Amino acid sequence: MDLENTSDTGGGYDLGWTGGGQWFCYTVDVATAGTYTLGLRIAAPSAVAGAPHLSDAAGTDLTGAVDLPATGDWQSWASVTTQVALPAARQTLTVDQDNGGWNSSYLGISADEPTSWGRPASRCRRALRLAAPPCARPEASH
């Protein structure tokens, strides 16, 4: 996994060269326990079954494996969402790459369905705060 310039809306960088067994993590402050929408901006030349899943610091799988659609190119972007139940607390969440072959330019967690990628909805900013990686890999086994 490595950083590269992205053509996605807003520019910046994406995480590319994903591969099974790799991971990236975020520290998240959740003010209110509840079910949240986890959104990823992804690019994948071909569909990737069971690509990532989200786990907590104890290694508990919070989302199950998420299938990613083909976007047609490494820099053609689409939004993928799934639901995740989170307790109120500061926590480390890890995006585990079960299968590679995709790029990611953004991860967002929102109390509402995301309406704008690249910036969380205002309600999300009040409920959660994302800190960019890097962070230490949880020691629990997956």
pLDDT tens column, 88-114:
988 888 999 999 999 998 888 888 654
Q: Give the pLDDT confidence score for residue 106 in this predicted structure.
A: 86
Backbone angles phi, psi at 123, to 5 degrees: -65, -35
Whole-number Å distance between alpha carbons of 142 and 133 = 20
Q: Give the pLDDT confidence score for residue 102 in this predicted structure.
A: 96
More confident residue, 7 or 117: 7
The model's pTM is 0.78
pLDDT mean over 114-123: 36
pLDDT mean over 34-52: 94
**Is the predicted pLDDT of residue 115 greater than 90, yes or no?**
no
Q: Give the pLDDT confidence score for residue 65 in this predicted structure.
A: 94
Burial status of residue 124 (CB atoms within 10 A of its CB: 0-12, 13-18, 19 or more): buried
More confident residue, 141 or 34: 34
pLDDT mean over 48-70: 95
Whole-number Å distance between alpha carbons of 125 and 15 = 23
Percent of the chain with pLDDT over 90: 45
